[in-house]
Amino acid sequence: MPLLGRRASLAGTALLAAAGMIATVAAGCRDGAGAAPKITTTARAGVAPVPPKEGAYFGAWVPPEGTGRPPASGSPSARPSAPGASSGPASASPSGRDAGKPGMAPVVGFESRLGRRLDIVQSYRSWKGDFPGDLEKSVADGNRYLLLTWGGADTRKIVQGEYDDLIAKRARAVKALGKPVFLRWSRDMDRASAGKRVHSPQDFVAAWKHLREVFKREKVDNVAWVWCPTARGFGGADAGSFYPGDDQVDWICADAEPGADYDYRDLSEAVKLFMQWARKHKKPIMIAEFGVPKSYGPRRAEWLREAAKTLQDPQVKAVVYFNSDEQAENARDKRRAYSVNGDKHAMSALRELATTPYFNPRNLPVTSGG
């Protein structure tokens, strides 16, 4: 090769190497913890939910009542909607035909405003609450994944076998759905308020393993196990100490509301320490509860657009918007109210996020919304 050609070749190689280095650094600069690891999961593809090859699933929690106001219990309601209830027009939705299914009218109303069908629909059930109910059955009957958030119980009683019959019954019920299910048991176990039933990280891990063992005995293989503390727990508290291990968890998750003690806080700040911790584990990440407070007012749309950038991370494989005001202590509490219903600009920004190709890995039909 002539000298000039050789020099050009070497220069080209150097440029390619530099570009690769820049890309690698850029991938790790989002949280300062290096590039995302190669993702692995123990869930069975085609049977249990597995991560998309590219991008991230988009889902939401839509309150059954369709109003998002705090239920009497002060926690997410598990009551199914009446079949005829609606929180918005369904005719324009790509899934409008599902509006008549039990429990689905509020979900389809939200989808019609969003301009696309959800990949994931979340439901909440208490520890002793019966499931599947109308909503879970309707979700399983369609082309959406069910994210079943199941309440916790006294970890020591679980390990002692006191609840084995109940666990086995629930395991059989999930198996009978016959569709892939995300199971998020005892979320936010790191909160101080959960201390009386969780007892300690060691007790929690033992209970988690016991739960999985019962499901294994019942031959349940359509479940992906989602471990989900608070993102805040990776700051002052040691949320990572509750982790059962890579062989026990399919998805690593965090609940990541910005926090009512901040006047304004980007999602990138809320998840920073959690993401740094998650980089050490070859697991797909789910952000199962994130939302922009109404107290942010005209900056809500800006917050959501910045959140969309933060969430386009190669390890983040599912995001679930908390479209509800039920955590608010009262109607004046705007710092814990996250519903975008009635907020034209915030709804538009959330629609931009949800219809971005990165968050539509199944290439679902998109409409203008509204």
pLDDT for 21 beyond 60: no
Burial (0-12, 13-18, 19+ Cβ within 10 Å), 33: middle
The rounded distance, in Å, linking the Cα atoms of 152 and 185 is 6
The rounded distance, in Å, linking the Cα atoms of 352 and 273 is 26
Q: What number is the average pLDDT over the span 136-146? A: 95
The rounded distance, in Å, linking the Cα atoms of 177 and 134 is 12
The rounded distance, in Å, linking the Cα atoms of 88 and 105 is 8
Pair of tokens at residue 349: 């920004």
150 neighbors 174 (Cβ within 8 angstroms): no
Q: What number is the average pLDDT over the span 340-351? A: 97
The torsion region of residue 32 among left (phi > 0), alpha (psi -120 to 50) and beta comes to: left
pLDDT for 27 beyond 90: no
Tracing tokens 């800006």 back to the chain, one arrives at 302
pLDDT for 7 beyond 80: no
pTM: 0.84
24 neighbors 35 (Cβ within 8 angstroms): yes
The rounded distance, in Å, linking the Cα atoms of 21 and 31 is 17
Q: What pLDDT is recorded for position 47?
A: 85
The rounded distance, in Å, linking the Cα atoms of 221 and 176 is 11
- pLDDT one-digit tens code per residue, 67-112: 444 433 334 443 333 333 333 333 344 556 798 999 999 999 999 9
Q: What pLDDT is recorded for position 79?
A: 36
The pLDDT mean for the chain works out to: 85
Q: What pLDDT is recorded for position 287?
A: 98
The rounded distance, in Å, linking the Cα atoms of 219 and 247 is 17
38 neighbors 282 (Cβ within 8 angstroms): yes
Amino acid at 343: D
Q: What number is the average pLDDT over the span 321-342? A: 95
Q: What pLDDT is recorded for position 40?
A: 75
- pLDDT one-digit tens code per residue, 238-282: 999 999 999 999 999 999 988 888 999 999 999 999 999 999 999
The rounded distance, in Å, linking the Cα atoms of 336 and 328 is 5
Q: What pLDDT is recorded for position 96?
A: 64
